[in-house]
Each structure stands twice: as C-alpha cells, then as structure tokens.
Amino acid sequence: MRRYLAAAAVLATALALPTLALAKGPSSASITGPGLNQLLAVNGQGEGGLGTPLGNLVDLGGFFPQMYGQSPDPTLRHQPKSTLGPRYTVTYVVPGPNNTKSKVVQSVYPYAKPVPLTFMRPGQSFWGSRRTYGGWFRSTFSLKDILVKAGLPATAPIR
C-alpha cells in the first residue's frame, strides 16, 4: 500500500511540474483609472521581484493565485462585503512559451474598506489555450501604499 501511495505522490508531483514551470510572472504592467492623467507604467521584476514596484504589485495584488490558481486557495469566488471605492485597471504583459506575450487584466480597489481588494475575471485567455483562474483577493494596506508610491493619489479621488 505504501508503495502505491509513494508512486501516486511522485506521479502527482511530476504532473504538476510542467504547470509550475509555465507559471511566469509579468514583464510589465500599466495602470489606468480615476485621478491619473495618463497611463501609469509599473516596472521591475514581476517574478520573484519583491522589492521592485512590479514585484510588489504582483505579490500584494494576488496575481499568481488569480492567474494560475494556488493551493491553499487565497482567492474568493464571490465579491466580499466591502465598500470598493474607485476601480483601477491593471494590464499585465505576461511572457510565455515560444516568445508569446499575453495581456491579462486585473481590477484593483486600493481604497476599499476594510482592506484593499483585487479582482481578476476568470477565463481570460493567455498563451493561446490557457485561461486565468480568477477571483477576488483580499490584500493588505501595503498594496495601497505601493500604488501611491507608483503614482496613484494618496486619497480616493471624488467621482
């Protein structure tokens, strides 16, 4: 019995490796929304780049669990009960196999109460046949802080 369990664990790991190998971070992002006079570029490393503007946005905004899924799953399938405030749109450029570049969109609510939220629509197409996992992600106040440092207004703009 142990032999079968060990073999099943090895097989499950082997099957997961190609998916993990394809899990790439974005190469760039741009933000649009209220209070911004122009497109706001966010640069840095989107994969393992914590400490860069893009790496912080990816990490604090829940990009990886929303893009590829994750276990345990930190995303929510339904919108949390919150006051959302203004919505900002983040467009990520995600490099993929064979030099493909796909764009995926995430909505960001940095002024939401009680905490900032992000949402990625499930089923967005990337790399041809892949689809985003999607969902809502509860962030921390640090998300708002890094977005303000990147160029968002310090307080929510009045609509």
Q: Please report, as a single letter, which amino acid is at residue 59.
A: D
Local confidence band at 71 (pLDDT 50, 70, 90 cut-offs): very high
23 pLDDT exceeds 90? no
pLDDT digits (tens, 9 = 90+) for 79-94: 999 999 999 999 999 9
φ, ψ (nearest 5 deg) of residue 130: -85, 155
Strands 135-138 and 117-120: antiparallel
Higher pLDDT, 8 or 139: 139
The per-residue pLDDT of the chain, averaged, comes to 87
In 44-56, which positions are buried (b, 16+ CB within 10 angstroms) versus exposed (e)?
A: bbbbebeeebbbb
Q: How confident is the model at residue 1 (pLDDT cuts 50, 70, 90)?
A: low
Tokens of 87: 């919505």
- Say which residue the tokens 């969109």 belong to: 105
